[in-house]
Amino acid sequence: MHPTRRDLLTAAAAGAGLLGTPDWLHAAESGAAARPKVLRYAFNAAETGFDPAQLSDIYSRTIAAHIFETLLEYDHLARPFLIRPCTAVALPEIADDHRTFTLKIRPGILFHDDPAFKGQPRELTAEDYIYTLKRYYDPATKSPGHTSLEEQGILGLQALRDAAIQSKKPFDYDQPVDGAQALDRYTLRFRLRASRPRFLYTLAGMEAMAREVVEFYGDKVMEHPIGTGPFRLAEWRRSSMIVMERFTGYRERFYDATPNPDDPEGQALLARFKGRRIPMLDRVEVAIIEEAQPRWLAFLNGEQDLLERVPADYIPQALVKGELAPHLAKKGLRKYRIAGSDVTMTVFNMEDPLIGGLAPQQVALRRAISLGLDIKREIRLGRRGEAMPAQAGIQPGTYGHDPALRTEIGEYQPARARALLDTWGYVDRDGDGWRERPDGSKLTLVILTQADQTSRQLDEIYKKNLDTLGLKVELKVGQWSENLKSTRAGKFMLWRVGSSAGSPDGQGALECGYSASVGKGNMARFQLPAFDQVYERITALPDGPERLAAFREANRLLLAYAPYRFHVHRLITDLTQPQVIGYRRAPFWLTWWPYIDIEAPQTLTPK
């Protein structure tokens, strides 16, 4: 039996707080001024849009994560992590050795109002998840997430994609597939080719969109995100400001969590907020401030409530021996410092005729660059000590990361780097101080970079290291989002970038070398059958010694062929103003806004 329009409108009223007494009415009745609770902070790079199937950058994904909801989610207070239902009623029933997953969606969940729905409330159904899943496989979407989804082996979806490519016809969204079925209006069943013990992580990242919205907006869907999440897009000035407002039709949800018994911070937050309705914020304003100095000053001046990742240049002003500086503590500011589940790296374009390729002299050039980069200097000067050397690409806090691992890239070895270059014919033939290629032609390394202060300082260190090796460098400055587009299109030589974990499993980091993900997670465009075989073994194996051994082999191949030079794992320090209550950086999930409260009056943002 389907819900009636009256049922749906009742659910919307309940979600808006119209069937109970909302917080602002309590405040008004008590004589207190009703002031919207607004969280203001900044991204240090521009967004690209808000269609989940087309996104790969963390800035856009952070916004989308609060608009679109997944079947499962990570418990915000549980550490290291705990998966619980989101739009699903319960965790899935798992059968057939982790090949079949069945779960039911909670009835009465509504999409944000939108003209695409022609004035009618629109309920979330099982078919919405199937449709959204198919969008990742539609060749026209060019989804960077297709490869990682296909690794899960959902039956029938790849065949549907192949049929569209071969026939050169539009993707058939109406064709049923065995692997993703709606058993009724609210029940989903997923069937996989092989056992996938970690498919829960995929369900925790599987969003739902409404087909009507995608078809209504067409190629403008990146600008019109309509989901069921706690926030909706209210205003967007591209690369400048993103304004999100609480979705008044959001279903009734309350602050609850399962922190560890030995986690006093989590226990304290639960005691303070348990039973409070979420989200507690009315509005989130995200500015795009790429330069470190104005971002820092905006926070100090009270124009921002949160400063994510204190810029490296301002770490000495923010911290004294790892603790919050006294002058900031006197203002009531709070510090949150963790080791990030991330890695920074130089990406080498393996299709570039100079820097790419698997021939010995090309491998030697990349390894020489890797050995010639002084990472300790980068950490000391460029990052003000807020990082640790990366020995491989798997991020801390994820399965497969080995904190005891030591590799050659962990050491600065300029003499060995110069010897490698000499041996393979990269020498200075014309006496101008710069090495030429083995065939005598000019050698210039073109590196994509950004204009912000941190990038400039890191560029200076990077260039000095390569100058010492006799390698000529040209820096090509652009916006981060544009550099990402160029890299994904293969129109670059080198780019230094960071990557954050998106799940508790380290295999996501290894996608950077998987050939099926070229142009997506594999930014280096690296293709090596031996690596693909190891990667596919990792996908199928259960967690345990055999899988960890496969991780080590994958690391060995990446380090040997050097499509990437892994730099550091960053230490992250966030600061909040006194009025921000409940902030806690999530290790790898993005949906944390609903758990924040603003308790003190805020100053108006200067115009």
* Amino acid identity for residue 433 in this structure: G
Reply yes or no on whether the pLDDT at 46 is more than 70.
Answer: yes
Tokens of 446: 């073109």
Strands 93-95 and 180-182 turn out to be: unpaired
Q: What is the dihedral of CA 306, 308, 311, 315, to 10 degrees?
A: 70
Buried b (16+ CB within 10 A) or exposed e, 198-208: bbbbbbbbbbb
Which residue ranges make up each domain of the chain?
Answer: 35-48+232-339+577-607, 68-228, 342-570
pTM for the structure as a whole:
0.85
CA angle 443, 446, 452 (to 5 degrees): 150
- Does the pLDDT of residue 12 top 70, yes or no? no
Encoded amino acid at 97, one letter: D
Mean pLDDT of the region 364-377: 97
With a cut of 80, say whether residue 9 has pLDDT above it.
no
Domain 35-48+232-339+577-607 shares a fold with domain 342-570: no
**Residues near 342 by beta carbon (within 8 Å), at least 6 away in sequence:** 395, 498, 499, 500, 501, 569, 570
Mean pLDDT of 64-78: 97
Gyration radius of the chain over CA positions: 25
> Angle CA(592)–CA(598)–CA(601) in degrees, nearest 5?
155
Candidates 3.10.105.10, 3.30.470.10, 3.40.50.300, 3.40.50.150; correct CATH number of 342-570? 3.10.105.10
Please give the structure tokens belonging to residue 256: 């609850």
Write out 3-40 in H/E/C secondary structure.
CCHHHHHHHHHHHCCCCCCCHHHHHHHCCCCCCCCEEE
Q: Are strands 494-500 and 444-449 parallel, antiparallel or unpaired?
A: parallel
Provide mean pLDDT across the span 111-121: 97
**How far, in Å, CA of 138 to CA of 135, rounded?**
5
Both tokens of residue 542?
A: 């259960």
Q: What is the DSSP string of 75-88?
A: -TT-SS--EEESSB
Average pLDDT value for the chain: 92
Sequence-distant (≥ 6) Cβ neighbours of residue 586 within 8 angstroms: 74, 76, 592
Residue 42: strand pairing partners: 287
CB 145 within 8 A of CB 520: yes
Q: Are the C-beta atoms of residues 538 and 510 closer than 8 Å to each other?
A: yes
pLDDT, one tens digit per residue, over 378-407 is 999 999 999 999 999 999 999 999 999 999
| CA 426 to each of CA 354, 356, 419, 431: distance values in angstroms, whole numbers, following the listed order | 11, 15, 10, 13
Among residues 305, 72, 329, which one has the least CA distance to residue 208? 72
68-228: what fold? Dipeptide-binding Protein; domain 1 (3.90.76)
pLDDT at 33: 53
Q: How confident is the model at residue 520 (pLDDT cuts 50, 70, 90)?
A: confident
Q: Give the pLDDT confidence score for residue 600 in this predicted structure.
A: 66
Instruction: Give the CATH number of domain 35-48+232-339+577-607.
Output: 3.40.190.10
Burial 446-472 (b: 16+ CB within 10 A, else e): bbbbbebbbbebbbebbbebbeebbbb
pLDDT of res. 607: 39
Read off the amino acid at residue 249.
G
Beta strands in 224-366 (DSSP E): 231-237, 241-246, 283-288, 306-307, 319-320, 323-324, 334-339, 342-348
Residue 431 has pLDDT above 90, yes or no: yes
pLDDT at 361 over 90: yes
What tens digit of pLDDT does each residue of 207-225 get?
A: 999 999 999 999 999 999 9
Q: Is 407 exposed, middle or buried (0-12, 13-18, 19+ CB in 10 A)?
A: middle
Per-residue pLDDT averaged across 450-461, rounded?
93
Which residues on adjacent β-strands are paired with residue 334? 576
Mean pLDDT of 331-342: 94
Check if the beta carbon of residue 226 is closer than 8 Å to that of residue 213.
yes
Percent of the chain whose pLDDT exceeds 70? 93
CA–chain centroid gap for 170, Å, is 30
Residue 216 or 604, more confident: 216
- Classify residue 240 as exposed, middle or buried by CB count within 10 Å of its CB (0-12, 13-18, 19+): exposed
Return the SS3 of 446: strand
The angle at the Cα of 87, spanning 192 to 224, to the nearest 5 degrees, equals 95
Q: Which residues contact 80 (CB under 8 A, 6 or more apart)?
A: 397, 504, 587
Question: With helix as H, strand as E and coil as C, how does 512-559 read?
Answer: HHCHHHECCCECCCCCCHHHHHHHHHHHHCCCCHHHHHHHHHHHHHHH
Q: Count of alpha carbons within 13 Å of 189, Cβ hemisphere only?
A: 12
pLDDT of residue 10: 42
Backbone angles phi, psi at 581, to 5 degrees: -120, 130
Helix and strand counts by DSSP (H, E) for the chain: 20, 23
d(C-alpha 423, C-alpha 419), whole Å: 6
> Span 134-147, mean pLDDT?
96
Q: Is 429 helix (H, G, I), strand (E, B) or coil?
A: coil
- 468: which 2 tokens? 């010492």
- The helix/strand/coil state of 326 is helix
